[in-house]
Amino acid sequence: MALKRKCFTVEEKMQIIRRLEAGERNVALAKEFCVCHTTIATIKKNKEQIRALFNSNVLKSKRVRASTQDQVDKALFQWFKMQRSRGISLNGPLLQQKANFFAKQFKIKDFNCSGSWISRFKVRHNILSGTASTESLPEKKCDAKEWLTQIWPALRKDYSDDDIFSANETGLLYKLTPDKTLNMKGEKCAGGELSKERITLLLAANMSGTLKRKLLVIGTSKRPRSFKNVQLLPVGYYSNRQAWMTSEIFTSWVRDWNAELKQREKKILLLIDDCPAHPIISYLTNITLVFLPPSTNTKSILQPMDQGVIRVIKSTYRKNLILKIISDMENSIDENYPKISILDAILMLNDAWQQLSPETIAKCFRQSGLAKTNLDVPRDDIEIEDDIPLSVWATALRIQLPISKEVLDEYVLIDNGLAICGEPSEDNIVKNILDDDQDSDDSVEDQSEDLTAPSVSEAFQAAEVLSRFVHSHCSDEILTHSMTRLNNVVRNYFYISKTAAKQSKITEYLVN
């Protein structure tokens, strides 16, 4: 019996892609949807284009005609989202006028935007005609206490502490050493050489501290050299020229999370700051976005991540960075240059994030006043055990650094003033699209660094030594068990490779 041809919507294709990525077989999905297996294979092949459409809110369309002017299309859609976030109503003639404006900015000749082009633009981006939506618009400016007492109780009444999350970004100069602290005060890192050594982090956790989302890291390079031979990163990774959060990255992150929650039939409330990189995201079925009051003097007070979470993560990261620099200098000929790759930074940041205790996160939510039990408790009375000053830590480990204790403690948050996104403007929209169309420089990291993957034999010897060290010096049961498991995995790799090598020699002997 011949299978009927079936057209899937973008949303349905995205669900198929996620199931394929989760390990389901092509044949099983083809049978379930009564289509040929080549249809499923084609969807998988085009997953990047489908994901881009899904993140652009194109959900119900079955066929999407690509734009003949991709740059104009991207710029106009970004501008449209920027105006919509401000609650501004737009019509067809205004969109036509702005499309012609962007065409001139991109130096595109013989382009005159027509009404039919705008109609196709609306279909591509699932834009409905009518007045601008006010769904999930940021709250009006108000006092923090007023927001907590009059607005917040109604927002949170249907959610438990486990289902209320907060997310926030921070910039990090991942190569910055303590001795450069004095030169960095007030640095915004909007461009220049220093911007190549920065990343932006997105952290998210729930009010009870029991669930932390995987870190999101934004760098400047699409394919950092240090990622060579890496099979799996412990974080989500995106890139752009400025290493900034963008509305596209944020939308993709939220929609992916919403899809996960939809599969688990779970609904959450997500608190975010009102910033240009956080657009209104329509058709979220399982995430309720709540924008914190936009007034700058209330943002840091109400944002739990600003109450200690970011500080603890940066402090732990920089403690590990100092130890790595000292170790590298003791074992390297070149003592004047600490070789810190973005992979090193990611691994140390992930370690800091995993070490962060649920109690610290919960206390930061109470510090912000968002938790039910702490609306009347003075914020200064809450102590965070994980937040050990860098100077105290260095003294305890007898680490001698050629800087004062005051400068060392400033080092932890020296990059807190880094911009995490660009200011919304037509010029920035054009500039960012032009930058993204060019391949980013992948040679930022040290070219002399050896990126060769260790051999199985080298890994086996190292694992044996490390296992003996852990079992001789550590009393942590979880750590010793993890080390035993790691050693067994490497040992299996070692013996499998040995067996394969022996079989190869036997085969070669018999053939000859």
Place 139 in a pLDDT band, splitting at 50, 70 and 90. Answer: low
Write the pLDDT tens digit of every residue in 294-340. Answer: 655 555 789 999 999 999 999 999 988 888 887 777 666 455 556 78
Residue length, the chain? Answer: 512
Place 210 in a pLDDT band, splitting at 50, 70 and 90. Answer: very high
DSSP state of 150: I
Please say if the pLDDT value at position 167 is more than 90: yes
Write the pLDDT tens digit of every residue in 22-61. Answer: 888 888 888 888 888 888 888 888 888 888 777 766 666 6
Write the pLDDT tens digit of every residue in 4-16. Answer: 667 888 888 888 8
Please say if the pLDDT value at position 194 is more than 60: no
Alpha carbon distance 54, 49 (integer Å): 9
Using an 8 Å Cβ cutoff, are 483 and 471 in contact?
Answer: yes
Q: Which of these, 307, 354, 69, lies nearest to 166 by C-alpha position? A: 307
SS (HEC) of 35-101: CCHHHHHHHHHCHHHHHHHHHCCCCCCCCCCCCCCHHHHHHHHHHHHHHHHCCCCCCHHHHHHHHHH
Write the pLDDT tens digit of every residue in 406-449. Answer: 877 788 888 888 889 887 788 888 888 887 766 554 544 545 45
Q: Which residue has the higher pLDDT, 502 or 38?
A: 38
Residue 243, judged by CB atoms within 10 A of its CB (0-12, 13-18, 19+), counts as: buried
Separation in Å, CA 489 to CA 157, 474, 486: 47, 20, 5
pTM of the full predicted structure? 0.77
Using an 8 Å Cβ cutoff, are 178 and 398 in contact?
Answer: no
